Amino acid sequence: MDKLRIYVKGGDGGGASLAQGSVGGAGSDVFVVANKTVDMAEIYTDFPTLKFVGGEGIRPYGEDLRGIKGNDLNVYVPPGVIIEDDYGYVLGEVARHGDRFLVSRGGQGWTAARSRVAQQVEGHHVILNLKTVSDIGLIGFPNSGKSTLFKAISDGMPKIDSHPFTTIFPELGTIDYSDGHTHAVVDLPGLMKGADERIGCGDHFLKHIENSKLLLFLVDLHGFQLSSNHPHHSPIQMIIELNKELEKYSENLLDKPCLLVLNKTESGDAQDQVLLTTQEQVQNIEKIVSELDPFLDRTPNNVVKFDETFVISAKSGYNVDYLKERLHHWLSIYYGNEEDPQTDNEDEQSLDIPVF
């Protein structure tokens, strides 16, 4: 579940006494707040009506001339949620743990001296559109071994099977390092030729790597063939198709640092020549693309550039630990160590989740 439409309404303003100068309390504001312990499914489960209405302002009591503002209402969501209106216009974003965004302001209270009536607030709907926040986005054709690698390097527990499209929802995992640092990695459903036209699982899920810092292309050295009725794709053809699908979705994705992983070397010497050929083709990928028919819809306009290429077996574990360390290296090169592992959980302690 990565999108919800919720109803939000700030609290109405409170009344006031007839005493000169008395003011009613303002209604409570409604905020969307990012908390990394929450997922979208919890919101729907805990609040099936998807209605979040703030409390009314409190009127003055006794000798007090000023009422009390209603308690703010927080709607807790996972980090990476974009807040949109019904027309797709982006109102705001809560990208990191602790970020908050005002979605409905409470009404002003009644003021006796100015004959101002308490403000009644009108509710409205907003869309919560989740774009996963991750350091590494894992992409590849179906059956390329993404889920096997995802499980080998992170704490993720994906379903692993031999048939295509085992992964049908993006899954988030954490890679732990001995120096105390961690990196979030998202495993996406298999991406294939025609995904932009809803072939396979489509390309809607690519929104979950828009916030990723680094992309990891995973390619099966055996190539890919969906069925006997479909053409066989060589490793270099899969790379070019992945390149094109990312470009069709958003050219900005190709500006991210990219690494290439050639997987499934466990089959032995039979793959040696395929491996050598693929490595040579990757080094000359710009030339190969330039020789494709420019009028074909599947020819990329911008060719992806890989910072490093790895040869692994996710199944046997060959070179997996090395890949894991190099992921840490490249993220440090491009972004530095942005988080202090000793203080990573400090903000989480300050976000108490109340029942509302």
114: DSSP letter: T
User: Do 168 and 283 belong together in one domain?
Assistant: yes
Banded pLDDT at 172 (limits 50, 70, 90): confident
User: Looking at the structure, do residues 112 and 186 belong to the same domain, yes or no?
Assistant: no
Cα 305 to Cα 74, 169, 286, distances in angstroms: 43, 27, 9
C-beta of residue 218 within 8 angstroms of C-beta of residue 263: yes
Q: Is 21 left (phi over 0), alpha (psi -120 to 50) or beta?
A: left
Q: Which helix (H) or strand (E) holds 140?
A: strand 136-140
- The residue type of 5 is R
Residue at 313 is within a domain? yes
Same domain, 216 and 91: no
Neighbours of 318 (CB within 10 A): 15
Sheet with 124-130: strands ordered across: 51-53, 3-9, 124-130, 81-84, 90-94
- Determine, yes or no, domain membership for 343: no
pLDDT in tens, 80-125: 899 999 998 999 999 888 999 999 999 988 887 665 777 889 999 9
Q: Which amino acid is at 222?
A: H
Q: What phi and psi, each to the nearest 5 degrees, are found at residue 205? A: -70, -10
Could you tell me if 211 and 290 lie in one domain?
Answer: yes
CATH code, domain carrying 22: 2.70.210.12
CATH of the domain at 309: 3.40.50.300
Residues 274 and 164 in one domain: yes
How far separated are the first and last CA of the chain, in Å rounded?
Answer: 22
Domain boundary among 130, 159, 174: 130
Instruction: State whether residue 200 is helix, strand or coil.
Output: coil
Co-location of 306 and 235 in the same domain? yes
The whole model's pTM is what?
A: 0.72
pLDDT given at position 188: 84
Residue numbers of the domain that contains 274: 136-335
Question: Is 286 within the bounds of a domain?
Answer: yes
The 10s digit of each residue's pLDDT in 207-220 is 888 889 999 999 99
Are residues 140 and 272 both part of a single domain?
A: yes
Q: Which of 96, 111, 130 is the last residue in one of the domains?
A: 130
Residues 250 and 309 grouped into a single domain: yes
How far apart, in whole angstroms, are the C-alpha atoms of residue 341 and residue 326? 19
Tell which of 130, 150, 170 closes a domain. Answer: 130
Tell me how many domains the chain contains. 2
Q: Is 210 exposed, middle or buried (0-12, 13-18, 19+ CB in 10 A)?
A: middle
Question: Domain check: are 42 and 147 in the same one?
Answer: no
Q: Do 94 and 233 have their domain in common?
A: no
